[in-house]
Amino acid sequence: MRIWGIALPSRTPVSFDVDGDRLRASGSSTSDGLWLLPGLTDVHSHPGTEMPGDEYSHEVFRRHMLTHRAAGVLTVRSPGSADPVRDRADDVDLPRLARSGQWLATPGRFFPGAGRRIEEAELPSAAVEEAAFGWCKVIGDWMPDDPPVPLDVLTATVDAVHAAGGRVAVHCQTAEGCRNAVLAGADSLEHGMHLDHSLLPRMAAQGTALVPTFSAFAKSIENIEKATDERLKEWIRGGWEHAFPTARAAFEAGVTVLAGTDTYPCGQVAAEISWLIKAGLPVEAAVGAGSWTAREWLGLPGLVDGGFADVVAYDEDPTENPEVLLRPKQIVLRGEVVV
């Protein structure tokens, strides 16, 4: 099978032959054809469960991942999983999966019954264990008036995981929780609702990415009036309003801003890209946040000779008309045409 068109982000005419699950340059190219992305990427999704505390279901996992695939999402990072099985190979008909072990929750943090519950003193060693897949996810804070994981504990955790060759995602929503995650050297801040903008230069310098998860918080805002806790409502509203200038300021400061949905149904990365555009990211940067930039951040190749044969094709340039992301013309995963 031959794939040709205009590759993004380079806008270079390319032509590849599919060799198994790899792309091989064909030696010829044309400016005719479709606009090609190396697959959309959702860097914050939890396939396999739908409610906090649910037991992992591989049937649900497959359904979620197939929904991602149908939307052109060919890579998914799952920062925090309820799946206890450590030796299960990825299903070859599903999007590529970058995953962590179980969420790590210290006392008073996270949904009751969800994640692996540990004491703060156990966090560094537990994080190394859960990072066996490459990532671990630490619940760094929780409710607005609750203290976050102490900075010294979080720093020791990040250092231990990095020494073992892993990476650390930190759930953080309070100002202090975000601060501790940045100062500890976390690889990604998940949510970052009340992030202090003075920390952005440090994030950029040390390579800490921001995953704002607008899609998830948009649902919270829709349902906020149902809450009875006025302090909580004020905190969520304030975080939502703060998230927009934060994403824009982070991008302008050189922070890697990425598209992660953290919501259901799966396959909603195009909507998350739209939120990033509304926040003020340039369209090309927003599309990259849900495609080539995210893939590079995860260590995956783009549309290059020897790269993965994961390609989504569109009739129009998504950086000129991002709405076309909702209408993929062709989807190729691991060298197989799925749409």
CA atoms within 13 A on the CB side of 82: 19
Strand, coil or helix: 22: strand
Compute the average pLDDT of residues 222-227. Answer: 80
Whether residue 132 sits in one domain with residue 28 = no
Domain identity same for 6 and 58: no
Residue 124: strand, helix, or coil = helix
E strands, the chain, are 2-7, 12-19, 22-25, 34-37, 40-42, 73-78, 96-105, 116-117, 135-139, 167-172, 188-191, 209-211, 311-314, 330-333, 336-337
168-197 per-position pLDDT tens digit: 999 999 999 999 999 999 999 999 999 999
* 244 lies in the same domain as 327: no
Question: What does the pLDDT read at residue 12?
Answer: 92
CA distance 152 to 302: 38
Give mean pLDDT, residues 103-110: 95
- DSSP annotation of 32 reads -
Q: Are residues 256 and 330 in the same domain?
A: no
pLDDT of residue 275: 98
Same domain, 256 and 312: no
Claim to verify: residue 52 and residue 103 sit in the same structural domain: yes
Q: Note whether 27 and 102 are same-domain residues.
A: no
pLDDT at residue 53 in the model: 82
Instruction: Name the domain count of the chain.
Output: 2
User: Which among 333, 255, 317, 257 is positioned nearest to 9, based on CA atoms?
Assistant: 317
Residue 288: CATH number of its domain: 3.20.20.140
Give the separation between CA 238 and CA 85, rounded to whole angstroms.
39
Question: Is 43 among the domain residues?
Answer: no
Q: Is the domain of 256 the same as that of 212?
A: yes
Same domain, yes or no, for 18 and 118?
no
Is pLDDT of 88 > 80?
no
Residue 32: pLDDT over 90: no
CATH (domain of 306): 2.30.40.10
Q: Are residues 19 and 107 in the same domain?
A: no
Conformational region of residue 207, where left means phi above 0, alpha means psi within -120 to 50, and beta covers everything else: left
Any domain includes 176: yes
pLDDT of res. 62: 95
Does the structure show a pLDDT above 80 at 84? Answer: no
Residues 67, 177: one domain? yes
Residues 285 and 315 in one domain: no
Determine the structural domain holding residue 18 and report its residue range. Answer: 1-38+301-339
